[in-house]
Amino acid sequence: MTIKTDVLVIGAGGAGARAAIEAAMNDPKLSIVILNQGPIGKSGLTSMANGGMQWVSHPDDSPCALFEDIIQIGCYLNDQNLVEAVVKEGPARAEELIRWGAKMLPHKGGGGGSPDTPPGKPSYPRGHYIPGVTYMAALRNELERHPNVIALEDVIATKLLTAGKRVIGAFVLNIRTGEYVVIEAKATVLAAGGLGELYPHSTNAPFGMHGHAAGMGYAMAYYAGAELIDMEMVQFTGNQLYPPWLLGNPALLSSMCGGKYVNALGKEFLKLPQPRDALQRLAYKEIKEGRGTERGGVYIDLTLSPLPSEEIEKQLKLSLAEEIAKERWKLIKAMSVNDPDPKNWRVEFTPGGAHFFMGGVRINERCETNLEGLFAAGEVSGGLHGANRMGGNAMVEIIVFGARAGRSAAEYAKRIDRVESKEAPEGEYERLCGFFKSRGTAPKIIMDKIATFMAEYVGVARTEADLTKALSEIESLRADGLPNLRAPQGRRFNLGWVEAIQVPYMLDVAEMIVRAALFRTESRGAHYREDYPETRSDWLKHTRIIKNRGFMDLTAVPVVVTQFKEEEKR
């Protein structure tokens, strides 16, 4: 079947939902279709986010200071037009979200101070805390209020439809029935989220759960001809290894509960505050030099916390949003291998858990891409965070740029005529059904192989030799793995089929990360090259990938600087 709409939004996390709301408010006569791979507000990365958000609220703090801190943390690779937008609009968008019913919890997420202020700079309490589930519940409620929005849940877009350099909608698989839908749209907003599942450890997919983060959005945009920037910039964070059920964000165990970063020999190896990239490298070094645990981790040691047991427990509950996660808290307290007193806990974590992706589709401050009719917002877009995302900025980014993308898409849809797709959808559907074979390799096996080489060769520390090995792994999986890729039988709600569909996109995105990482012959923020450990001023550029006759074309392009130059660093 075909649905014709004015605005199509792909993805209903924070950015997509906010975009659909904005387009709906822009003009009640516009029709909007929003897609989500699971139930809206009960799947995707926003709803699983711990919810730290930052904006200026302390009297001594200023938007200018926040602007500079974001850029300094981002190692000057941020597009400053985008940083301006997030600093300026963040507070108003957050207030609006709270007005719509999102629940802000009283604590400050980062334990009073902003967790990653640049070294040597004053630290202001900027953190605010809106757990992802209540954030999404508010957006979902708001979506419902607009009769011109149609939301489709349990659907997955597999291809952007194009007419020349213009995007005119998407091919969509209905996971519930296994049938396809063609959506023809005047304007398309891509808000498909991140790619944590390319790595074996990811906060996007805790303990092997699926988090909707296979990176299909990047690949779809690339196939359609979009520019992607800084694809080497993967933000890693500590990923919990033990105990084997989630205690929440390991960073909060330290910043809120006073836990110390300790190696297997019991020695504290770093002191806070540290930018996230530096923290990862320090933990990685401990393990590489043989001071890691048997599971390949290091500890956050609560036994060394200066806080008393009751206070640790109180902070831990806050960091988990215990009033929502009641079952989780019961579980944590009940598991027999745990001493119920958190003062006796040492939580084991590994560095290199994929947490966030700074790179993505290149946008301007209106969320326009290089393709007509395609807008992007949220994690799938690149440029705001530069080489390192400051904690608390993603949850602000998605509502600020979601709203901007929605407005731009609505304005565009009002002034343009619809183009009907000339592509026959049967071809794409046949391709998807081609995964139903009687024999072959299960998608999980290939996904695990991708994750294994990404962690080994494209992790916290990179070298030319390792990255080259990753490229040959990709080539061999393409040659031997993909032709045998096989989905489980049955079209109805077959998530194994969805996994099989995702695998080729994941391989292409992996290749983009590897090629961009090879291309950037310096170290900057989250991208650390052991063979090029210095940051070079001549590399203060985005790496840009665009499809050229079927090849990944890599060039360096300038960063957007509006007011803050690297020399002005204080």
Site residues, other proteins (CB under 8 A): 1, 3, 37-44, 47-48, 131-133, 137, 140-141, 143-144, 147, 149-155, 174, 176-177, 179, 181, 206-212, 243-246, 248, 320-321, 324-328, 330-331, 334-335, 337, 442, 444, 488-490, 492-496
Q: Least distance in Å: CB of 382 to other proteins?
A: 24
Check if the beta carbon of residue 26 is closer than 8 Å to that of residue 44: no
Question: Hey, what amino acid is at 87?
Answer: V
If the CB atoms of residues 143 and 413 are measured against other proteins, the closer one turns out to be 143
Check if the beta carbon of residue 75 is closer than 8 Å to that of residue 84: no
Q: Least distance in Å: CB of 378 to other proteins?
A: 17
Cis peptide before 273 (omega within 30 of 0): yes
Quote the radius of gyration of the chain (alpha carbons, Å).
23
Q: Least distance in Å: CB of 526 to other proteins?
A: 24
Kind of pairing between the strands at 32-35 and 228-229 = unpaired
If the CB atoms of residues 295 and 536 are measured against other proteins, the closer one turns out to be 295
If the CB atoms of residues 56 and 213 are measured against other proteins, the closer one turns out to be 213
Q: Least distance in Å: CB of 49 to other proteins?
A: 9
If the CB atoms of residues 153 and 232 are measured against other proteins, the closer one turns out to be 153
State in Å, rounded, how far the first CA of the chain is from the last one: 59
Edge-to-edge order in the sheet of strand 228-229: 381-382, 360-362, 228-229, 541-548, 551-558
Q: Least distance in Å: CB of 527 to other proteins?
A: 28
If the CB atoms of residues 54 and 202 are measured against other proteins, the closer one turns out to be 202
Secondary structure (3-state) at 64? helix
- Nearest CA to 173 out of 220, 139, 208, 241 is that of 220
Q: Least distance in Å: CB of 485 to other proteins?
A: 14
If the CB atoms of residues 58 and 492 are measured against other proteins, the closer one turns out to be 492
Kind of pairing between the strands at 528-529 and 180-190 = unpaired
Q: Least distance in Å: CB of 101 to other proteins?
A: 11
Check if the beta carbon of residue 206 is closer than 8 Å to that of residue 328: no
Here the tokens at position 178 are 């296994």
Beta bridge partners of 268: 262
Check if the beta carbon of residue 181 is closer than 8 Å to that of residue 2: yes
If the CB atoms of residues 58 and 145 are measured against other proteins, the closer one turns out to be 145
Return the residue matching tokens 């500590």: 238
Here the tokens at position 145 are 């209020």
Strand (E) or helix (H) holding 84: helix 80-99
For 134-155, give the secondary structure using H, E and C. HHHHHHHHHHHCCCCEEEECCE
- Cβ-based neighbours of 356, under 8 Å, separated by 6 or more: 194, 196, 234, 235, 237, 379, 385, 389, 394
Check if the beta carbon of residue 554 is closer than 8 Å to that of residue 514: no
Q: Least distance in Å: CB of 174 to other proteins?
A: 6
Check if the beta carbon of residue 406 is closer than 8 Å to that of residue 189: yes
Largest CA distance in the chain: 67
Q: Least distance in Å: CB of 383 to other proteins?
A: 28
Q: Least distance in Å: CB of 568 to other proteins?
A: 41
Q: Least distance in Å: CB of 490 to other proteins?
A: 6
Q: How many residues does the chain have?
A: 570
The values of phi and psi at residue 176, to 5°, are -65, -40
If the CB atoms of residues 382 and 406 are measured against other proteins, the closer one turns out to be 406
User: Which whole-number Å values give the CA distances from 482 to 148, 157, 178, 469, in the listed order?
Assistant: 41, 20, 21, 19
Q: Least distance in Å: CB of 135 to other proteins?
A: 11
If the CB atoms of residues 32 and 518 are measured against other proteins, the closer one turns out to be 32
If the CB atoms of residues 179 and 534 are measured against other proteins, the closer one turns out to be 179
If the CB atoms of residues 289 and 336 are measured against other proteins, the closer one turns out to be 336
If the CB atoms of residues 131 and 504 are measured against other proteins, the closer one turns out to be 131
